[in-house]
Amino acid sequence: MDGLESVGAIVKRAAALKIPALAITDISNICGFIKFYTACKSAGIKPIMGADIEVEEEVKPGEKATSFKLTLLAMDRVGQQNLYDILSDAWLRSDAGAFNAKTSLADLKKYSEGIIILDGFRGDIAAMAQRKDSKAIRARLKFYLENFNDRFCFEITRTNRIGESEFENFALNLCVEYNIAPVATNDTVFLFGEDNVGKDGFSDYQIHDVRVSIQAGCQRGNKEMARKYSKEQYLKTPEQMEALFADIPEALQNTRNIAERCNIEIELDHPRLPRYPTGDLSPAEYLRKKAAEGLEERLEFLYPDEKERNEKRQTYVDRLNTELDVIINMDFPGYFLIVMEFIQWSKEHGVPVGPGRGSGGGSLVAYSLKITDFDPLRFDLLFERFLNPERISMPDFDVDFCQRNREKTLEHVKNRYGNNAVSQIATFGTMAPKAAIKDAGRALGMGYGAVDFVAKQLPTQPGLTFKAAMGIGKDGKPCDPLAPDFVNLYQKALQDDDRQRVELIHIALRLEGVIRNIGKHAAGVVISPTRTAEFSPLMLDSDGNSITQFDKKDVEHAGLVKFDFLGLTTLTIIDDALTMINARKAKHHEPPVNIHAVPYEDPESFAVLQQCETTAVFQLESAGMRKLIGQMQPDRFDDLIALVALYRPGPIKSGMVDHFVQRKHGKEEVAYPSPDFQDLDLKPILDSTYGVIVYQEQVMQIAQVLAGYSLGGADILRRAMGKKNPAEMAGQRSVFKEGAGKKGKDTDIAMKIFDQVEKFAEYGFNKSHSAAYALVAWWTLWLKTHYPAEFLAAMMTADRQRVEKLVSYIAECNRLKIKVNPPDVTEGLFNFTVNDAGEIIYGIGAVKGIGEDVVEDIIKERAQKPFKDFFDFVKRVGPKHLNRRTFEALVASGALDKLGPSRAQMMASIPTAMKYAVQESSDAASGQLDLFAAISETTAPTFVACRPWSEKYRLYLEKNVLGLYLSGHPINIYIDELTRNYRSTISTLRPGTAQRPNPVTFYGIVISSTERTSKNDGSKFYILILDDGTSQLEFSLYGSVAEQYGAILYERAKLQKQKAMQETDPSKTIPSPLVLIVSGMLSLTEDNITRLRVREIKTLESIRRKNAKNLTLRLSEDQLSKNFNELSSALLNNVIAVQNNSMMNTAQRYPIGQTESDECKGCSFNLMLGNTLLRFTNSVNRYDPSDDLLDSLREIAGNNAVSISY
Read off the pLDDT of residues 453-486 as tens digits, 9 standing for 90 and up.
999 899 888 889 999 999 998 888 888 898 898 9
Q: Do the Cβ atoms of 669 and 663 come closer than 8 Å?
A: yes
What is the C-alpha separation between 637 and 600, in angstroms, rounded? 6
- Given a cut of 50, is residue 679 above it in pLDDT? yes
Binned at pLDDT 50, 70 and 90, residue 1178 comes out as: low
Domain that holds residue 902: 787-953
Please compute the mean of the pLDDT values over residues 772-780 and round it to a whole number.
96
Please compute the mean of the pLDDT values over residues 817-839 and round it to a whole number.
96
* Percentage with pLDDT > 90 across the chain: 71
In a domain, 467, yes or no: no
Q: Note the residue count of the chain.
A: 1206
The residue from 762, 780, 798 where one domain ends is: 780
Q: Are residues 769 and 793 in the same domain?
A: no
In a domain, 421, yes or no: yes
Q: Are residues 682 and 768 in the same domain?
A: yes
> What pLDDT sits at residue 1087?
65
DSSP per-residue letters across 323-371: HHHHHHHTT-HHHHHHHHHHHHHHHHTT--B-S--GGGGG-HHHHHTTS
Please compute the mean of the pLDDT values over residues 28-43 and round it to a whole number.
96
- Given a cut of 60, is residue 68 above it in pLDDT? yes
The pLDDT tens digits of the residues spanning 155-206 come to: 999 999 999 999 999 999 999 999 999 999 999 999 999 998 888 889 999 9
> What pLDDT sits at residue 113?
97
Q: Are residues 859 and 938 in the same domain?
A: yes
In a domain, 438, yes or no: no
- Given a cut of 90, is residue 1138 above it in pLDDT? no
DSSP-H helix ranges across 537-622: 552-557, 569-587, 603-610
Planar angle of CA 687, 688, 692, nearest 5 degrees: 70
> What pLDDT sits at residue 1155?
43
Please compute the mean of the pLDDT values over residues 613-619 and round it to a whole number.
94
Q: Are residues 91 and 109 in the same domain?
A: yes
Q: Do the Cβ atoms of 479 and 472 come closer than 8 Å?
A: yes
The residue from 545, 570, 595 where one domain ends is: 570
In a domain, 486, yes or no: no
Please compute the mean of the pLDDT values over residues 274-281 and round it to a whole number.
93
> What pLDDT sits at residue 1179?
62
Q: Are residues 85 and 109 in the same domain?
A: yes
Binned at pLDDT 50, 70 and 90, residue 1150 comes out as: very low
In a domain, 200, yes or no: no
- Given a cut of 60, is residue 787 above it in pLDDT? yes
- Given a cut of 60, is residue 596 above it in pLDDT? yes
In a domain, 204, yes or no: no
Binned at pLDDT 50, 70 and 90, residue 925 comes out as: low
Please compute the mean of the pLDDT values over residues 596-621 and round it to a whole number.
94
- Given a cut of 50, is residue 287 above it in pLDDT? yes
Q: Which residues of 151-162 are buried (b: 16+ CB within 10 A; e: fewer)?
A: bbbbbbbbbebe
> What pLDDT sits at residue 173?
96
The pLDDT tens digits of the residues spanning 94-117 come to: 988 778 899 999 999 999 999 999
Chain centroid to Cα 268, Å, comes to 33
Q: Are residues 356 and 298 in the same domain?
A: yes
Q: Are residues 939 and 978 in the same domain?
A: no
In a domain, 960, yes or no: no
**Ranges 76-90, 654-668, 804-818, 1167-1181: which has the least confidence:** 1167-1181
Q: What is the pTM of this model?
A: 0.86
The CATH code of the domain that includes 934 is 1.10.150
Q: Do the Cβ atoms of 80 and 59 come closer than 8 Å?
A: no
End-to-end CA, the chain: 71
The pLDDT tens digits of the residues spanning 113-144 come to: 999 999 999 999 999 999 999 999 999 999 99
What is the C-alpha separation between 1118 and 218, in angstroms, rounded? 72
- Given a cut of 50, is residue 1120 above it in pLDDT? yes
Q: Are residues 817 and 923 in the same domain?
A: yes
Mean pLDDT over each residue of the chain, to the nearest integer = 91
Taking each helix axis from N to C terminus, what angle separates 433-444 and 499-511, rounded to the nearest 10 degrees? 130
Cβ-proximal residues to 132 (8 Å cutoff; 6+ apart), any chain: none
Amino acid letter for position 882: L
Binned at pLDDT 50, 70 and 90, residue 61 comes out as: confident
**Ranges 212-216, 869-873, 1010-1014: which has the least confidence:** 1010-1014
> What pLDDT sits at residue 1139?
54
Q: Are residues 1186 and 1084 in the same domain?
A: no
Amino acid letter for position 140: R
Q: Are residues 159 and 64 in the same domain?
A: yes
Long-range contacts of 803-809 (CB under 8 A, 24+ apart): 803/963, 803/964, 803/1032, 804/1025, 804/1031, 804/1032, 806/846, 806/963, 806/964, 807/964, 807/1027, 807/1029, 807/1031, 807/1032, 808/615, 808/616, 808/987, 808/1030, 808/1031, 808/1032, 809/615, 809/616
- Given a cut of 50, is residue 630 above it in pLDDT? yes
Please compute the mean of the pLDDT values over residues 38-66 and round it to a whole number.
93
- CA atoms within a 13 Å half-sphere pointing along the CA-CB vector of 468: 13
In a domain, 441, yes or no: no
Q: Are residues 941 and 996 in the same domain?
A: no
> What pLDDT sits at residue 1154?
45
> What pLDDT sits at residue 846?
93
The pLDDT tens digits of the residues spanning 213-270 come to: 998 888 888 888 778 899 999 999 999 999 999 999 999 999 999 999 999 999 999 9
The residue from 1051, 1067, 1102 where one domain ends is: 1102
Q: Are residues 816 and 765 in the same domain?
A: no
Q: Check residues 1017 and 582 and name the one with the higher pLDDT.
A: 582
The pLDDT tens digits of the residues spanning 515-574 come to: 888 889 988 999 999 999 999 999 998 888 899 999 999 999 999 999 999 999 999 999
Q: How big is the chain by its Cα radius of gyration, in Å? A: 37
- Given a cut of 70, is residue 387 above it in pLDDT? yes
The number of domains in the chain is 6
What is the C-alpha separation between 985 and 1029, in angstroms, rounded? 9
> What pLDDT sits at residue 17?
96
> What pLDDT sits at residue 1152?
40
**Ranges 262-271, 780-789, 855-864, 880-889: which has the least confidence:** 880-889
In 3D, which of 1083, 1080, 1078 has the Cα closest to residue 991?
A: 1083
